[in-house]
């Protein structure tokens, strides 16, 4: 091989551990604990959104085992309930603000006196 050509064998061996992880994560069964990537995939959020929620103290509970972060099914269920409750509360407050704004607007009369 020429010095300009990258070593293909090196690239292939670097990918093997990651591919093995992906294959294992596809075999995840309902009730299994999540890693952060599988939690994000399962809940249709990006990893950056996960860390943003975590910074705001709105992420799920985590367990650290041997340097790995694990999210239990119970923590995931609790997190979903919390997110649903927050969404319902935000929507309720928004409806109240809209009603208050509508009540404060002066009404125009459709009939005019002549």
pLDDT band at residue 39, thresholds of 50, 70 and 90? Answer: very high
pLDDT tens per residue, range 49-99 = 999 999 999 999 999 999 999 999 999 999 999 999 999 999 999 999 999
Domain boundaries, position 90? 35-97
User: How many domains are there within the chain?
Assistant: 1
**Buried-state track 36-73, b at ≥16 Cβ within 10 A, e below 16:** bebbbbebeeeeeebeeeeeeeebbebeeeeeeebbbe
72 located within any domain = yes
pLDDT tens per residue, range 17-35 = 556 655 655 666 777 899 9
């Amino acid at each position: 091989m020429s010095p300009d050509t990258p070593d293909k064998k090196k690239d292939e061996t670097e990918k093997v551990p990651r591919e093995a992880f992906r294959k294992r994560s596809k075999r995840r069964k309902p009730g299994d604990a999540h890693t952060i990537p599988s939690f994000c995939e399962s809940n249709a959020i990006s990893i950056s959104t996960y860390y943003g929620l975590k910074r705001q103290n709105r992420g799920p509970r985590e367990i650290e085992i041997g340097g790995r972060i694990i999210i239990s099914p119970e923590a995931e269920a609790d997190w979903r309930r919390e997110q649903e409750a927050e969404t319902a509360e935000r929507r309720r407050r928004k409806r109240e603000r809209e009603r208050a704004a509508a009540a404060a607007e002066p009404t125009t009369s459709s009939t005019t006196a002549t």
